[in-house]
Amino acid sequence: MFWKKKNKSGDGQVKIFFASDLHGSNVCFKKFVNSAKFYGADVLVLGGDLTGKAVIPIAEQQDGSYLAFQHGESVRITGQGELDDFVKRQGNMGFYPAVISEAEYQRLKSDPTAQEELFKRLVLERVHEWAAFAEEKLKGTEIPFVALPGNDDFWEIDEILTQAAHVDFNEMRVCDFKGGYQMLFCGGSTPTPWDTEREYSEAQYVERFAELLPQVRDMSRCIFNVHVPPHGTALDACPKLDDNMQVVYEMGLPAQIHAGCETLNDIIKEHQPLLGLHGHIHEGRAKINIGETVCINPGSVYPEGILQGAMIILEDGKIAQTNLTQG
């Protein structure tokens, strides 16, 4: 981590900053983009799950105040200054604030379809804002910003990011990468208890990798950017949930399961790519080796406004350094 800005890249040296699972957090996204300058990275890689999970309705009352919900409590907001602060804070924590009338809130409350439409509209607006921010900050820097979708990302974001001027958005592709490397993009995840947007069975992952692997020229110079981590490792350990999304306890302790992809683990063991970049399991912050392959999940604590990431230096076809970051 923490490469000095004055430290020039040597021949064949590529400095990658990788983060994942920002889930709508404005502050984390801005940090992610600015991390290129801060850590002196040559490439920014985003590992999916850009979109957030909750809309915070801020309902205007008859007396001109607003009712909203924060940290498990109902709050009353008075004045434009307080409102602006509240809206900003919600955005930084990954929520989507929506200033609406009380009547509109009551209508939305009883209409799941309208809620979903509102959700999608706000998510897409934010993705647009992020794309514009990235362009503003990275224009003229020659720092590529590559991204792929996670399991929580609406399909509609693909079009926005594909068309964004300074975002290299890829899914189900193997692309040439700085320094003569290749990057394999495979988004989504294996099935989750939440039945999220982009989930694939193990059998589907077999098919997906069968499509991607022939495109890799040299595994020893290939970086896997795969949202889901390999199964049965420190990168994918998380609590087991029941049908009601409650943690399952065994002997009074939360039961642990591995929620990664078995197919991916098998493929990494067999093909030994240079590097695996993963996300999805926020608790799975770690760096491990599967054979010769280094696999990293930086984890995520986006609600706290802290960006967890990983800096990786590739040099002459090898991994010179890897470091987990928090900033």
Partner 1 sequence: MSVTDAGGDKRIFLRKASGLIRTASGTDTFIYNLGVVSIGLGVGSMLYYGPAFYPQGDLIWGCVLAGFAMALIAFGFITWTITLPRSGGIYVFGSRILPPALALTMSLVEITAWLFYCAIAAYWIVTLALAPMFAALNLLTGNETFLAISETMLEPWATFLIGAAILVLSQVILSYGMRFYLTINKWVFVLAMASSAFLLITLAMYTREDFVSHLNALVGPALNVPDAYNAIIASGKENGWGGGDPTVWQTILVSNWPFLPLVGAAFSIAIGGEIKSVGKSQTVAMLGAVLIATVVWIATVWLAYKVFGFEFLGTAVYNAVLGTGITTPTDPSVALLTGILTQSPLITVLTSLGLALWMWMWIPAMHTFGVRAVVAWSFDRVAPAPLAKISETYHTPLVAITVTTIFNLICMALFVFTPWFSKIVILIEAAVLAWSVVLLAGVFFPYKRPELYEKSPLAGKTVFGLPIMTVGCFLGFLAAQFYFWTLFFDPNAAGHDPTQVAIVVGVFVIGLAFYYVMKMIRRSQGIDVTLAFKEIPIE
Write out the binding residues for partner 1, residues 151-190 only, by CB under 8 A.
151-152, 189
Nearer to partner 1, 40 or 183 (CB): 40
> What count of other Cβ atoms lies within 10 Å of the Cβ of residue 282?
19
Q: Residue 87, interface with partner 1 (CB under 8 A)?
A: no
Integer Cα distance of 16 and 33 in angstroms? 12
Q: Residue 104, interface with partner 1 (CB under 8 A)?
A: no
Phi/psi for 117 (5° steps) reads -65, -45
Q: In angstroms, what is the minimal distance from the CB of 275 to partner 1?
A: 16
How many residues make contact with partner 1 (CB under 8 A)? Answer: 87
Write out the binding residues for partner 1, residues 211-270 only, by CB under 8 A.
233-234, 237-239, 241, 247, 251-254, 256
Of 75, 78, 76, 99, nearest in space to 87 by CA: 99
Q: Which two tokens stand for residue 283?
A: 């608790």
Q: In angstroms, what is the minimal distance from the CB of 325 to partner 1?
A: 7
Residue that is written with structure tokens 């850009």 in the block: 50
Integer Cα distance of 44 and 164 in angstroms? 15
Displacement of CA 149 from its chain's centroid (Å): 8
Nearer to partner 1, 31 or 166 (CB): 31
- Member of 41, 127, 222, 307 binding partner 1 (CB under 8 A): 307
- Does residue 302 contact residue 23 with C-beta atoms inside 8 Å? yes
Q: Residue 35, interface with partner 1 (CB under 8 A)?
A: yes
Nearer to partner 1, 217 or 269 (CB): 269
Q: Residue 110, interface with partner 1 (CB under 8 A)?
A: no
Query: Who's near 172: CB < 8 A, 6+ residues apart?
Result: 185, 186, 187, 208, 211, 212
Choose the stretch contacting partner 1; rule: CB under 8 A; options: 141-149, 168-176, 266-274, 304-312. Answer: 304-312
Write out the binding residues for partner 1, residues 56-85 only, by CB under 8 A.
56-57, 59, 67-78, 82, 85
Choose the stretch contacting partner 1; rule: CB under 8 A; options: 138-146, 169-177, 194-202, 210-218. Answer: 194-202
The total number of residues written for the chain in this structure: 327
Q: Which two tokens stand for residue 321?
A: 């350094």
Q: Residue 54, interface with partner 1 (CB under 8 A)?
A: yes
Nearer to partner 1, 180 or 193 (CB): 193
Integer Cα distance of 316 and 131 in angstroms? 32
- Member of 20, 182, 293, 300 binding partner 1 (CB under 8 A): 300
